[in-house]
């Protein structure tokens, strides 16, 4: 069973999903940095790139967004979408042109230096259904496993979609929480989604290029729509105003979740109940300690994320193989949790401790897949490679927790290390020699941080004096507290 805690403030909404006292997921949304995924815009084609079969679309953001030919609308009528999947799409230069206005939806937020990723295949999520205006099929969530139940739901939906005589364009995907929905609830969701799409189309006709046509729900509303299920014991929020707004929203769109909604009025901040703030701090650290004494080292780069498993101080098992096996099993559970907490996406490389026995490797891989099956985000896991690494991918739709909360260190520029004072001293001595060959000042003055100046005056003083004699000029030193360890300036007097 799980509890959902919502900490609301005018500038930021934070959500923690807690299971058995442990935080499993963290979600943040800031008023000035709200995510764009799900938003629908009237985009203007700024540039077509035939060589990449892509186009840059202006949707009013700082950077142009990216649209690939595979994400263009295949079938406006919704009657031939099934056939279109098996035929190659037309080249993008034959489908769009510069200056054209397209209705597009954001499917990936801008990440790093990359612009947003767009799709012209619009999808609008409701409580029970997802509406696909350009696709005429009825789809069923893969999490609804029973073949018999899937066919019953498909037949019910086909009857509801075709009710009232003439069938309207557009298809639907039944979400997992539609499994036990009544026909009346499904019909209400169908009507709501079609009404929403009609409003979007009407605004698209009247709006200029770059206009926002539809914005997805805010984080607190998405908690009720997407995250609350039969396993949810309570949804607690610490704002009376937002509690009232959520209750009104829930009564209209997610009535089954309203009973779980609670207004938290305790004296302690809601996130202090389960130590959420401390968990956030740990989720930003490079090292993650395991209960057994082992630990993980997580490094995130632009291209991929690596997770290294180490035994640390764990020596409790009967033999070395068992020690490694138990550490890797515990690490598999911790890795799945850390991927959710940190929202790590893209290519992920897992370096488990080498295991000699094949059954141990299979057991660790099975445990990893079992823990990842709980993830709301699409995950694919490959087996062990010849080098003993596990390769996996996790769909990335928004920035990771670290990228949302942190920025590169201004001292090391994100490298995680700086030059030693002695290394900087030698850089300075070489720079003075270089300057002395080009200029003829009266004196050289070195301005650097205190640690570098102290090293030049102490351990490196013979080299400094020798350089001064060699160039025939005095060299003075000045400490500047505001300079970083690698910064220095050489002034010609």
315, pLDDT greater than 70: no
Residues 429-449: what's their mean pLDDT? Answer: 93
Q: What is the third-level CATH fold of 40-214?
A: OB fold (Dihydrolipoamide Acetyltransferase, E2P) (2.40.50)
Q: What is the pLDDT of residues 347-384, one digit of tens each?
A: 999 999 998 889 999 999 999 999 998 888 889 998 89
16 touches 26 (CB < 8 A): yes
Own/partner pairs, 418-424, CB within 8 angstroms, 24+ separation: 418/484, 418/485, 418/486, 419/485, 419/486, 421/451, 421/452, 421/454, 421/455, 421/485, 422/455, 422/459, 422/460, 424/448, 424/452, 424/485, 424/486, 424/488
E strand segments, 330-483: 346-351, 379-384, 390-394, 444-448, 475-479
Q: What is the mean pLDDT of the chain?
A: 87
**pLDDT the model gives residue 88:** 66
Tokens of 127: 């409580």
Question: pLDDT band at residue 74, thresholds of 50, 70 and 90?
Answer: low
313, pLDDT greater than 60: yes
Q: Which residue has the tokens 């003829």?
A: 440
**pLDDT the model gives residue 78:** 40
**pLDDT the model gives residue 84:** 42
CATH topology agreement for domains 2-34+218-276 and 421-492 = no
Tokens of 38: 């799900």
Question: pLDDT band at residue 302, thresholds of 50, 70 and 90?
Answer: confident
CATH code matching the domain that covers 2-34+218-276, chosen among 3.40.50.10470, 3.40.50.1970, 3.30.420.60, 3.30.990.10: 3.30.420.60
**pLDDT the model gives residue 82:** 39
For the chain, domain boundaries: 2-34+218-276, 40-214, 287-405, 421-492
Helix 461-471 × helix 421-438 angle, to 10°: 0
145 touches 88 (CB < 8 A): no
Q: Confirm or reject CATH 3.30.390.30 for domain 421-492, answering yes or no.
A: no
264, pLDDT greater than 90: yes
SS3 call for 260: coil
Neighbouring residues of 225: CB distance < 8 A, sequence distance ≥ 6 = 125, 127, 217, 253, 254
**pLDDT the model gives residue 77:** 42
Q: What is the pLDDT of residues 214-250, one digit of tens each?
A: 988 899 998 988 888 888 999 999 999 999 999 998 8
């Amino acid at each position: 069973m799980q509890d959902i805690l919502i900490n609301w403030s005018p500038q930021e909404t934070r959500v923690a999903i807690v299971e058995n006292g442990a935080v499993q997921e963290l979600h943040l949304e800031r008023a000035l940095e709200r995510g764009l995924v799900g938003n629908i815009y009237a985009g203007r084609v700024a540039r077509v790139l035939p060589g990449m079969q892509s186009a840059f679309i202006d949707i009013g953001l700082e950077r142009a967004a990216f649209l690939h030919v595979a994400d263009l609308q295949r079938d406006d009528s919704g009657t031939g979408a099934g056939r279109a999947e098996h035929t190659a799409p037309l080249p993008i230069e034959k489908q769009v042109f510069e200056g054209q206005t397209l209705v597009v939806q954001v499917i990936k937020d801008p990440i790093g230096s990359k612009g947003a990723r767009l799709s012209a295949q619009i999808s609008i999520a409701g409580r029970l259904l997802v509406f696909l205006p350009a696709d005429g099929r009825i789809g069923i969530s893969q999490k609804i496993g029973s073949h018999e139940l899937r066919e019953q739901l498909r037949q019910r939906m086909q009857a509801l979609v075709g009710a009232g005589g003439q069938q309207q364009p557009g298809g639907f995907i039944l979400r997992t929480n539609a499994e036990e929905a009544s026909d009346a609830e499904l019909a209400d969701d169908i009507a709501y989604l079609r009404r929403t799409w009609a409003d979007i189309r009407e605004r698209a006709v009247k709006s200029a290029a770059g206009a926002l046509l539809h914005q997805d729900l805010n984080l607190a509303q998405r908690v009720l729509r997407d995250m609350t299920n039969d396993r949810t014991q309570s949804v607690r929020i610490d704002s009376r105003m937002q509690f009232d707004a959520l209750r009104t929203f829930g009564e209209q769109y997610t009535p089954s979740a309203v009973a779980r909604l609670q207004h938290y009025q305790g004296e302690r901040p809601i996130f202090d109940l389960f130590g959420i703030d401390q968990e956030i701090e740990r989720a930003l650290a490079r090292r993650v300690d395991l209960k057994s004494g082992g630990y993980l080292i997580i490094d995130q780069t632009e291209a991929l994320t690596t997770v290294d498993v180490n035994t640390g101080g764990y020596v409790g098992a009967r033999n070395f193989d068992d020690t490694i096996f138990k550490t890797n099993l515990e690490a598999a559970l911790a890795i799945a949790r850390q991927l959710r907490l940190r929202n790590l996406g893209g290519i992920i490389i897992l370096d488990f401790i080498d295991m000699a026995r094949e059954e141990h490797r299979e057991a660790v891989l099975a445990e990893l897949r079992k823990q990842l099956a709980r993830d709301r985000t699409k995950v694919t896991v490959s087996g062990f490679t010849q080098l003993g690494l596990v390769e996996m991918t996790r769909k990335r739709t928004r920035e990771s927790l670290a990228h949302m909360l942190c920025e590169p260190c201004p001292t090391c520029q994100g490298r995680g290390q700086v030059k030693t004072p002695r290394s900087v001293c030698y850089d300075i001595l070489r720079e003075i020699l270089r300057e002395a060959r080009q200029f003829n000042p009266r004196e050289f003055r070195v301005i650097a941080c205190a640690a570098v100046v102290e090293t030049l005056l102490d351990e490196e003083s013979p080299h400094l004096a020798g350089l001064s004699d060699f160039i025939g000029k005095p060299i003075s030193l000045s400490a500047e507290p505001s300079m970083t360890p690698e910064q220095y300036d050489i002034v010609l007097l």
